[in-house]
Structure 1
Amino acid sequence: MKSPLLVTCFVGLCMWHIALSLKICAFNVQSFGEAKAKNKKVMGILIKILARCDLCLIQEVRDAKGEAIPTLVKDLNSFDKSHAYSYIESMRLGKNTYKEQYVYIYKKDVLQVREHCQYPELERGEGTNNDTEVFSREPFIVRFHSPTTLVKDFVLVGQHTCPKTAMKEIDELYTVFNGICKKWKTENVVILGDLNAACSYITVRGFRAVRLRSDPKFRWLIRDEQDTTVRQKTHCAYDRIVIHGREMISGIVPDSAKPFNFKEEFHLTEDEALEVSDHFPVEVDLKPNHRYLLRHEL
């Protein structure tokens, strides 16, 4: 029979480990712009969601004035004074008048941005497709340094695919990955966002031929049977987190990858939740570097 003291210590260590892990999120906030930034109820829920994340990719930022994200980050800093939040944003992307931005919001006292680029800036390798027209919105790629985790250097590839061309765009992310390996000499890569990788936008047979899916070196952390949608009538794993690299794979906290159901967490009706987004965020935790944390008394 285990001693109650040993059980308490074990539980305490597990909780300490979880508390010090680094949470990476991706959230399609569905047309985030001036209207949502002025809605106090929606912003209050968004702030609570983002405060859970050390690093979050925001998608579907539609704000020609460029005021919504600064307002969001300012409110986030006011809400959580224990950290200093900052952001890095892409250019406005789209093939026609419809434009979106990718934005990474991160705790700058925990993470540092090393470098970033839009997909066409990558030096793509020989024998690749090199078709920049595949993407409706080119991936926004940012390299982060994280001294508090076992994986100290990793690249995030943010992508929001066009539903009609989702499989083609997901396949082309394999080319993007090869470009990252060549340009930045790293294999610790996380591809994340609303990939529309489910339901009517994906065929089972066609998906098997998608390089990002068929290559066993890539781990799809959000499973096909999971639901990342708010509406009760839908059940689709549109939003995904895909990782690559031995260090990255071993650096993930087991079973931490999941959608965050803010509707249930904050006791919202479906209509109230849909005011925020029709997607749930997806998230995963990186294991902490306990030696570093103990040295710096964190």
Structure 2
Amino acid sequence: MGRTLLLAALLLAPLLGGATPLRIGAFNAQRLGGGKAARDDVREALGRIIARCDIMVLQEVLDAKGQVVPLLLKALDSTVGPGTYQTLSSPPLGRGSYQERYVYFYRPGRAQLRDWFVYEDAHPERPDVFAREPFVTLFGLPSTALPELVLVPLHAVPGAAEAEIDALHDVYERVRERWGQQDVLFLGDFNAGCSYVAASRWGQIRLRRDPPFHWLLGDDGDSTVRASTRCPYDRVVVAGERSQSLVVPGSARAFNFTARFGLTEEQALAVSDHYPVEVELALDRAWRGPWHPPPALLLLLGLGGALLGLP
């Protein structure tokens, strides 16, 4: 019996394989405009960072002339292949003359963009909380375990971080009303730590306090490039039992591109003063019921057993 199971494993290995986890990231690229993206060193680093992920949300994109996305797509086309990534940009968001965009880069072979909206920041009890309203997206995924996932990025204003993080609870309710979705990933530069959110205040923040939300990065982390600082500004928060069950243990982290790319601190700061945060979802992990091998495979196993003289 043991030898038969071994033969079955050997025959099945090349047929089944393990699905690659879906990696999702968010990166505050620190005042990323056309001039910055035109720098070869910066563009190369950004391309390598984006190419790590199946979906990457860039924040703090200042692209009034529409130069950033074409430059980065050109870099990605030359490194990972033409058409590997598609993009979706939010409208300019912000109060007054200072405007930023959220920009999604995603692999259409791994995630299909289905819908999106800019959150209408008009809650009757908390109007105009967000300086840069979340640009919410719905993606279809190649998984029966998690066929759809909503992404909610946020770049919070430092002085209003507590209120903006709390108001993500209202965004969650809006997502449920609009799409009937409970599997939601909140991610980005929340400015969620150090002097911007005191430890004593976390219990008052609904996104932290209420049961549906699971924080994947702790308060003792660090998403800053400078060696002189240690702050967990950038976070990933997941809601929904299905999506929580698929998180790959240990995959939620800040990606230290300084060390990985062999950069000096000065070189890294030319890219950003933040590290990207990312998480992986094992889309094939959930049990889908008993598996019955097709007759052709049973025949193949029988022939293999006969050739090896197995009972």
1:68 aligns with: 68
Note if 1:87 corresponds to 2:87: yes
1:275 aligns with 2:270: yes
Partner letter of residue 94 of structure 2? G
Hey, what does 1:173 align to over in structure 2?
A: 168
Cα distance between partner residues in 2 of 1:74 and 1:22: 23
Question: What is the distance in 1 between the residues matched to 2:253 and 2:147?
Answer: 22
Report 1:36-115 matches (<5 A): 36-81=36-81, 84-115=84-115
Aligned to 1:31: 31
Distance in 1 separating the partners of 2:252 and 2:31:
25
Q: Judging changes above 3 Å, is the alpha-carbon distance between structure 1 residues 139 and 132 closer, same or farther for their aligned structure 2 residues?
A: farther
**Consecutive aligned runs of 4 or more in structure 1 exceeding 6 Å deviation:** none
Aligned mates of 1:252, 1:97 — CA distance in 2: 39
CA distance in 2, matches of 1:154, 1:148: 11
Q: Secondary structure at the match of 2:133?
A: coil
- Between structure 1 and structure 2, the one with the greater Rg is 2
1:216 maps to 211
CA distance in 2, matches of 1:233, 1:182: 44
- Unaligned runs of 5+ residues in structure 2 are 1-5, 289-311
Is the contact made by 1:151 and 1:286 (CA closer than 8 Å) also made in structure 2? no
Which residue, 242, 250, 255 being the options, matches 2:250? 255
How many Å apart are 1:77 and its aligned residue?
A: 1.9
> Is 1:145–2:135 an aligned residue pair?
no
Contact 1:223 1:237 in 2 (8 A): yes
SS in 2 for 1:206: helix
| Preserved CA contact (<8 Å) 2:76 2:82 | no
1:158 is matched with which residue?
153
User: Structure 2 length as normaliser, TM-score?
Assistant: 0.84
- Cα deviation 1:103-128 (Å, max 9, x = unaligned): 1100012211110000018xx8xxx6
Compare 214-223 and 256-265 and name the one that shifted more.
Answer: 214-223
Deviation (angstroms), 1:149: 7.2
TM-score by length of 1: 0.87
Count of paired positions:
275
Distance (whole Å) between structure 1 residues aligned to residue 185 and residue 191 of structure 2: 17
CA distance in 1 between partners of 2:229 and 2:237 (Å): 22
- The unaligned stretches of length 5 or more in structure 1 are 293-298
Matched residue type, 1:224: D
Residue 201 of structure 2 is aligned to residue 206 of structure 1: yes
Where does residue 295 of structure 1 map in the other structure?
A: none
In the TM superposition, residue 189 of structure 1 has moved relative to its aligned partner by: 0.4
